[in-house]
Amino acid sequence: MPVSYRDIAADLRQQISVGRYAPGDKLPMLTELQTAYGAGYQTVRSAINLLEQEGLVVAVRRRGTIVRERPAKRRISRSHQVFRDEIGYFFDPVAQPWVALETPTVRWGPVPVDLAAAMGLSLQTEVLIRDRVMGDRETREPKQLATSYLPASVARGTRLAEADTGPGGIYDRLEEMGHRPLRWDVGISACMPSPEEAEALNLPADVGIPLLRVVRLTMSPSGDVVEVNDTRMSSEEFEIGYPIRRHATARPAGGEEEGEDDQLT
């Protein structure tokens, strides 16, 4: 049976996985792969295309097909807590040192279709949209995109609609406006980046790297949603992690030992 492009891709993928081809190494030329696998040009080309789509290799002009360098993943720990420092509220100790790399853009526009229901708004309802690119203070390397959506009934005519919202940011302003104490609810999903998002995060244009998407609802004590924060970051660089603790029903087999920690590791 003739070898398929999936067979060739699987074999090359395995060799990359075990380090036979390390990051920065060049794969054999297409003609060499044709000979090695006894396959036609289009079959080999399709195998390489598949590996490119998976983000394992990249075509470099005048060099050939190169195994991509990929960063070691950093864990974004979601501890189900909100923290505060001298700047204001924050939700993740890893991202806490990051700063806005440019002045936030502030505009009015329709609520996104997938957030309208969560905000209790009809489609096409106008909301305040605040976009930020967050990253490393020293290297200026972008790490995440953060977009806040605030109902017009809450934000219009207030400092929330200004580029500089003052000490403590929008959450302090919201609490000062009477929406205190704020509470939050978080959902985590994934999405593919738009070309603009890929460019803002310095993602390779020819590799489909999904984004981790963390959508956080900010609510007043009455339960009204006063802000939605939509944060996106590279799934190649970050992963979401959180501790797992025993519920009261999850007793160790054989009975609980004295002094046993209540956290599974």
Lowest mean pLDDT among 64-73, 117-126, 169-178, 183-192: 64-73
Specify the higher pLDDT residue, 87 or 34. Answer: 34
Query: Over 70: is that where the pLDDT of 115 sits?
Result: yes
Q: What confidence score (pLDDT) does residue 124 get?
A: 87
Task: Please indicate, yes or no, whether residues 87 and 181 belong to a single structural domain of this protein.
Answer: yes
Q: Tell me whether residue 153 is in a domain.
A: yes
Q: Tell me whether residue 223 is in a domain.
A: yes
Of 67, 93, 109, the residue at which a domain comes to its end is: 67
Q: Phi, psi at residue 102, to the nearest 5°?
A: -155, 165
Segment 130-153 shows an average pLDDT of: 96
Query: Over 90: is that where the pLDDT of 8 sits?
Result: yes
Segment 197-207 shows an average pLDDT of: 85
Residue 197: domain span? 74-243
Q: Tell me whether residue 249 is in a domain.
A: no
Task: Please indicate, yes or no, whether residues 78 and 168 belong to a single structural domain of this protein.
Answer: yes
Domain count along the chain: 2
Confidence band (pLDDT; 50, 70, 90) for 249? confident
Question: Residue 104: which CATH number?
Answer: 3.40.1410.10
Q: What confidence score (pLDDT) does residue 52 get?
A: 87
Average pLDDT of the chain, as a whole number? 88
Segment 114-120 shows an average pLDDT of: 92
Confidence band (pLDDT; 50, 70, 90) for 141? very high
Confidence band (pLDDT; 50, 70, 90) for 264? very low
Task: Please indicate, yes or no, whether residues 30 and 120 belong to a single structural domain of this protein.
Answer: no
Task: Please indicate, yes or no, whether residues 83 and 58 belong to a single structural domain of this protein.
Answer: no
Q: What confidence score (pLDDT) does residue 256 get?
A: 57
Q: Tell me whether residue 251 is in a domain.
A: no
CA distances from 167 to 80, 119, 151 (A): 24, 26, 21
Query: Over 80: is that where the pLDDT of 194 sits?
Result: yes
Q: Select from 154, 156, 86, 71 the least CA-distant residue to 119.
A: 154
Residue positions counted in the chain: 265
Q: Tell me whether residue 178 is in a domain.
A: yes
Q: What confidence score (pLDDT) does residue 257 get?
A: 53
Task: Please indicate, yes or no, whether residues 166 and 210 belong to a single structural domain of this protein.
Answer: yes
Query: Over 60: is that where the pLDDT of 23 sits?
Result: yes
Task: Please indicate, yes or no, whether residues 9 and 81 belong to a single structural domain of this protein.
Answer: no
Q: Select from 215, 231, 232, 227 the least CA-distant residue to 149.
A: 227
Q: Tell me whether residue 235 is in a domain.
A: yes
Lowest mean pLDDT among 68-72, 100-104, 113-117: 68-72
pLDDT tens for residues 47-95?
999 888 877 898 888 889 999 887 776 666 555 778 888 888 888 888 8
Q: What confidence score (pLDDT) does residue 75 get?
A: 61
DSSP class of residue 194? P
Query: Over 90: is that where the pLDDT of 222 sits?
Result: yes
Q: Tell me whether residue 14 is in a domain.
A: yes
pLDDT tens for residues 181-191?
999 999 899 88
Q: What DSSP assignment string belongs to 52-88?
A: HHTTSEEEETTTEEEEPP-PPPEEEE--S--EE-SS-
Q: Select from 82, 76, 79 the least CA-distant residue to 95.
A: 76
